[in-house]
Amino acid sequence: MPIAPSQYDHDVRASDAEFPASDRTRSEDYLWTLNFGPQHPATHTTLRLVLTLDGERVVDALPEMGYLHSGFEKLGEHLTFNQYVTVTDRMNYISPMANNVAWHCAVEKLMGIQLTPRCQYIRTIIAELARISDHLLSNGAVGLDVGAFTFFLYAFYQREVIYDIFETLCGARFTNSYTRVGGVSHDFTPLVVQKIRDFIKTFPKTLADMERLLTRNRIFVDRTKGVGVLSKEAAINGGASGPVARASGVPRDLRKDEPYLAYADFQFQVCCAAAGDCYARYLVRMQEMRESLKIVAQAIENLPAGDIHIGIDQRTSLPTKKQVYSTIEGTISHFELSMANRGFEVPCEESYMGTEAPNGELGFYIVGDGSESAYRARCRPPSLLHFSLFPQLIRGHTLSDVVAVLGSLNIIAAELDR
Amino acid sequence: MPISIPMPSTPPLTADTSDILRFLTERFGALETSLFRDQTRIVVPESKSLEVLAFLKDSGFDMLVDLTCVDYLEYRDALRRYGLVYLLASTLTNQRLTLRVFVDDPVMNPHAVLSDGPEAADKPMPTVRSAVPLWAAANWLEREVWDLFGVRFLGHPDLRRLVMPDAFTAHPLRKDYPLQGRGERHNFPVLTRDDG
Amino acid sequence: MALELPENVVVSKLDELANWCRKNSLWPMPFATACCGIELMATGAAKHDLARFGAEVFRFSPRQCDLMIVAGRVVMKMLPVLQRIWLQMHEPKWCISMGACASTGGVFDTYAVVQGIDRFLPVDMYVPGCPPRPEQLIQAIIDLQDKIQREGTITGREFSTVERQLRKRALVESADLLTVDASRNPNIQRAMSDRSAIRRIQTS
């Protein structure tokens, strides 16, 4: 039974304002349309671009998304806060720990919970390891799309080392669902600390190897320098954040501007560049990996001792078995948290918490209604705003630059579509 | 002897949030403000929302962090149905501000199923003026709110669906739309080995 | 009277020979949508190398592949694209549904996610996991290779057998319930009643 193609073609309409009259293609027959479809190796999973080309030069690009929209925000209204963290893993799936930290920091802000120092340090460490993992894959994908396969394999090998650390910590390579309200699920064991220390020792050498491959490579520089320039005003007006904005000269880093967790205790620099092209974004990400490694090194040496969960009288974290059997507070907490129809109280209020995720400002706007599940769990995805900037970055460049620009923006389809 | 100094039309950039609120109330009249966990929230009626946003942009809030909507249909003690949330930030002074605009469905018939229906221009939908002239970031964020909630934005250059397929008819994030949908997700032809 | 064969002559059935060739050079077409796509890339990377099993080239063109690995959740906007790519692949072709989301919808029982691609495509191998470890995917490829060796024919006759054309029984029953209303779902009912109960406790 043949399937009529018209069933699958989306009717792509664009209005006049998005394509100004000088760019309209009706009177110009030499312009042709290329569908850079949702299934394409270089589109980093499911994005779609409808390119209007003059030979090889891109006259305009119409981005389309939604090919991975799974109803995350509606799910957030039916799952409890501790259940929803599993769903946040699957948003920016190349750094899931960062999403877990962002979600639970937002929940704890709504509930007004102050974490223990050890928990703050642990969350900082894993968030920075997730940042290294994200930048490795992002730059690796830029390298892969431009043609550097070895660079990609080096990056993936280092990511396997980070996966190993996470697996030793909580049992899952990625999609860890590691954080809980008021704490984390597993504490650092000496083996985990040892593995992180080994990683800190061996990573700089690999990073230097990777830089030697690409940073001064004539081919790479020619392909990325001057390509996809984003001006500072366009970055701010378009809502860009993270490395994309910092590479355009916007010196905004939420770890320094609005310190959360334990970032105020560490010394690190915010990496910015002025050029705003793909090469600048690549360099910013490479340097940020070094800064993240510095943070991890400082944190792991100064890890405070103590409990990772907040006190049981706050009725949000599950108490330990010893507490349950020997103290009345523990028993009550355990009852309150485990029985159905009970659970912790959340104020009937709304709050927003933005964190510096590897991709940009990842924030959650949570509306609480008194129960254990959110009334509305809105995720503010950095990739959405970066992808909306794509047309202005690509006008005038060639078809091969589409791949470089798309890779450098690091658009993760799951975060984009939710 | 008091000297009358003409108030500047926009406050200086180094003002903190309480100063901005003062300028806002002087310019636009009394506004409902609240403070929760170090976040300042302002409720603005729809008639003034675009002017207030323009004023705030000129005052230094150059970044629109997020534009989203909350459907208060099942919220306890809610009076209006849709609450649009504008999260603003200033890259120069590091301040944040939350603006809320409440709108309602135009047809207040409790028996009408408002979550689906054709997207015809004559179908009454809650309407707000678009913030696209102020921030380019609002373009896709408003499209998403239209797609998922059905709030129409006047003056938006290209208001069509963003995340759902174009042929989809409902607005899924409304509270009267079920989580599993109404069968749209399985309404596709089946391929067997013979068709290959 | 035995026939003496020199060392460099092999006698075999044509089917077995064709199966051996096909199974050891499965070229995957990675249809990677979400997190399972990253594990797919990790399986192809240096530590767990998929190239050892013949799946050397991850060609992204359906015209050049014979194994489609659907890795990640498939939403209804993407399903027509998936079906079109399946139709563009040449016979003989196989399909691996990698991960819980591709097999059954996974965590996402929502309005947008297809609850299992086998409702709309013929699937040969399912890999459970969220995401499955690379070793699990490699095991699935090995199992698929065994399946091809057991059942394959040179002309592809096995794809026309009755067993392959049957719709799965579980899907036939659930596919009839095309309108699933959340208010009839007992889990959602319980969750909704719990929340209202909590509100009642707080207002009293």
DSSP string, A233-295: HHHHHTT--HHHHHTTT----HHHHS--TTGGGS-------SS-SHHHHHHHHHHHHHHHHHH
Indicate the length of chain B as a whole number. Answer: 196
Number of domains in chain B: 1
Give the nearest partner residue to C175 out of B180, B186, B194, using CB atoms: B186
Residue C186: CA count within 13 A, CB half-sphere: 0
Contact residues on chain B for C188, CB-CB shorter than 8 A:
178-179
Taking only the tens place, the pLDDT of each residue in A31-47 is 888 888 787 765 567 88
CB pairs under 8 A between A and C: 120
Residue B77 lies in domain: 17-107+117-179
Residues of A in contact with C45 (CB under 8 A): 152-153, 156-157, 160
Instruction: Using CB atoms, pick whichever of C42, C83, C130 lies closest to residue A3.
Output: C83
Query: Residue B69's CB: how many other CB atoms inside 10 A?
Result: 27
Whole-number CA gyration radius for chain B: 21
Query: Would you state the structure tokens that stand for residue C135, as one six-digit string?
Result: 């070793």
Model-level pTM?
A: 0.84
Of A115-124, A144-153, A241-250, where does mean pLDDT reach its minimum? Answer: A144-153
- Which position has the higher pLDDT, B120 or A197? A197
Q: Please say if the pLDDT value at position B123 is more than 90.
A: no
In the predicted structure, residue B92 carries a pLDDT above the cut 90: no
In a domain, B189, yes or no: no
- CA C87 to CA A72: how far, in whole Å? 30
**Residue B48: CA atoms inside 13 Å, Cβ hemisphere, count?**
16
Residue A112's region, left for phi above 0, alpha for psi from -120 to 50, else beta, is: left
Across chain A, what does the average pLDDT equal? 86
pLDDT band (50, 70, 90) for residue A367: very high
Nearest chain B alpha carbon to C182 = B178
**Are B181 and C180 a contacting pair at CB < 8 A?**
yes
- Do the Cβ atoms of C108 and A75 come within 8 Å? yes
Kindly state the percentage of chain C with pLDDT values over 90.
14
Q: What residue of C is the nearest CA neighbor of A37?
A: C81
Q: Do C46 and A156 touch (CB under 8 A)?
A: yes
Is residue B7 domain-resident? Answer: no
Q: How far apart are the first and last CA of chain B?
A: 91
- Distance in Å, alpha carbon of A238 to nearest chain B alpha carbon: 4
ipTM of this complex prediction, to 2 decimal places? 0.84
Of residues B19 and A155, the one with the higher pLDDT is A155
Assign 3-class secondary structure to C4-25.
CCCCCCCCCCHHHHHHHHHHCC
Nearest chain C residue to A164, by CA? C47
Asked if C110 reaches chain B (Cβ–Cβ under 8 Å), the answer is yes
Can you point out the beta strands (E) in A345-404?
350-357, 360-367, 376-380
Residue of A nearest to B68 (CA): A378
Chain B residues at the A interface, defined by Cβ less than 8 Å, are 36-37, 39, 41, 62-66, 68, 70-71, 74-76, 85, 87, 91, 94, 96, 98, 135-137, 139-141, 144, 148, 157-158, 160-166, 172-173, 179, 189, 191, 195
Contact A156 C42 (CB under 8 A): yes
Q: Mind listing the domains of chain A with CATH numbers?
A: 5-64 (no CATH), 72-309+345-417 (1.10.645.10)
Phi-psi region of B179 (alpha: psi -120 to 50; beta: other; left: phi over 0): alpha
The verdict on a CB contact (< 8 Å) between C180 and B193 is no
> Would the pLDDT of C200 be above 50?
no
Query: B residues 53-82 near C, CB within 8 Å?
Result: 76
| SS3 of chain B | CCCCCCCCCCCCCCCCHHHHHHHHHHHHCCCEEEEECCEEEEECCHHHHHHHHHHHHHCCCCEEEEEEEEECCCCCCCCCCEEEEEEEECCCCCCEEEEEEEECCCCCCCCCCCCCCCCCCCCCCCEEECCCCCCCCHHHHHHHHHHHHCCEEECCCCCCCCCCCCCCCCCCCCCCCCCCCCCHHHCCCCCCHHHC
Chains B–C, number of C-beta pairs less than 8 Å apart: 88
Looking at chain B, which residue has its C-alpha nearest residue A111?
A: B37
B94 to chain A: closest CA residue: A257
Q: What is the pLDDT of residue A11?
A: 39
- Optimal mutation site among B73, B77, B91, B154, interface A, most CBs of chain A within 10 A: B91
Q: Is residue B168 in some structural domain? A: yes
DSSP string, A205-228: HHHHHHHHHHTT-HHHHHHHTTSS
CB of A217 within 8 Å of a chain B CB? The answer is: no
Query: Packing angle between helix C134-151 and helix C35-44, nearest 10 degrees?
Result: 80
Question: C11-48 pLDDT, tens per residue?
Answer: 678 888 888 888 888 888 888 888 888 888 888 877 88
Check CB contact of C69 with chain A, cutoff 8 Å: no
Which amino acid, one-letter code, is at C11?
A: V
Name the phi and psi angles at B105, rounded to 5.
Answer: -70, 140
> Between chains, do B196 and C185 touch, taking CB under 8 Å as contact?
no
SS3 C195: helix
For residue A251, give how far its alpha carbon lies from the nearest alpha carbon of chain C (Å). Answer: 31
What three-state secondary structure class fits A374?
coil
Residue B160 domain-assigned (yes or no): yes
pLDDT of residue B16: 65
Instruction: Tell me if A174 sits within 8 A of A96, measured CB to CB.
Output: yes
Q: What is the CATH number of the domain that holds B103?
A: 3.30.460.80
- Taking an 8 Å cut-off on Cβ atoms, the answer to whether B136 and A238 are in contact is yes
Residue of B nearest to A108 (CA): B37
Q: Which fold has domain C14-166?
A: Rossmann fold (3.40.50)
| 3-state SS assignment for residue C120 | coil
Chains in contact with chain C (at least 3 beta-carbon pairs closer than 8 A): A, B
The 10s digit of each residue's pLDDT in A261-293 is 889 989 999 989 998 899 999 999 999 999 999
3-state secondary structure of A379: strand
Question: Using H for helix, E for strand and C for coil, what is the string for A358-371?
Answer: CCEEEEEEEECCCC
Among the listed residues C73, B167, B170, the one whose alpha carbon sits nearest the alpha carbon of residue A9: B167
Tell me the C-alpha to C-alpha distance, in Å, between residue A91 and each of A97, A415, B27, C75: 11, 5, 42, 15
Measured between beta carbons, the chain C residues lying within 8 angstroms of A156 are: 41-42, 45-47
Contacts of C89 in chain B (CB under 8 A): 196
The residues pairing with A35 across neighbouring beta strands, listed in sequence order, are A50
Q: Is the pLDDT of residue B137 over 80?
A: yes
> Rounded distance, CA A416 to CA A382, Å?
8
Nearest residue of B to residue A20, measured between CA atoms: B157
Contact C37, C166 (CB under 8 A): no
Among the partner-chain residues C89, C110, C119, the one whose CB lies closest to the CB of B180 is C110
Residue C177, pLDDT score: 44
B142 has a pLDDT exceeding 80: yes
**Average pLDDT of C185-198?**
48
**Quick one: CA dihedral A182, A184, A189, A193, positive or negative?**
negative
| Shortest Cα distance, chain A CAs vs residue B64, angstroms | 6
